Structure 1
């Protein structure tokens, strides 16, 4: 377990430096959680208890439209943060699902703990501000990609950015993420 907390500290200290005393205080707010493949972190229309930092494993965040079609918003793997951020921040029911594609381990952080943590260790506010900006940038790039790039360009960019993801995600899910059919994805891979 200690090595998981070491990974989290390393992740945080890529952006801010913490004293050992600060780390001891910070670490107490992160709760370990383990889920099996196909278990949910977040379910639509339910409360969102926390945001999650992935220690190991892989999740997908998605919505299902009125025709039953799945639209994947994000794959989150090791060292990613994931939740339904709108529902988490505003304490409203979730609008998306997040489930595990693989057996996964996480640290969870409840909103009240996040707020206390940032109040007591102000540099953690800076950490979360920077991480939020990175997430916003990634979201903008994803939207622009869907709006301006061909399916082939989206696929090639995904291979460049996350080559290991291609091996870990079923073709059907990759197609849903890229906004193409499975047949189109097969042609792109050929």
Structure 2
């Protein structure tokens, strides 16, 4: 793995962990004081308070952000090891890619819920979204790299950043379309 990819993993871990910790702190504040207005509640659309009070924010009976704290800690440690030049076994990368896939599935479900059921966007959640998808693509590319002779593995590796750009473009368009009525009042 190249140094830029290792540094990217480290940065992704830091950003994801920071967002998950911020969400956890905000959720605790909200549990302590139900009238608390989270710092990330900016307007009717960008409002993590609206998102945090829904059942979707605690799918497994505890705040989703706690899953992020654990997952992004693993990513952060992996990034530190990669930057230090530690060669991790292929099974480790396969496991990280599998975990990233589970995270991406959950993130996409949460994106759908935010856009079409809750009707609000949580800024900290969007940071997690923005880290999870590239993390899936990068860890999959690393895990599949030894199989680069296979067409699918080669395509994922060669087009990894294009896949990420396409995903971000799609997400931005979905957000613009879903909340266009609100955004157009700001123009």
What is the TM-score when the length of structure 2 is the normalising length? 0.29
Question: Quick check: which one's helix share is greater?
Answer: 2
Question: Quick check: which one's strand share is greater?
Answer: 1
What is the TM-score when the length of structure 1 is the normalising length? 0.28
Higher relative contact order (CA 8 A, sep 6+): 2
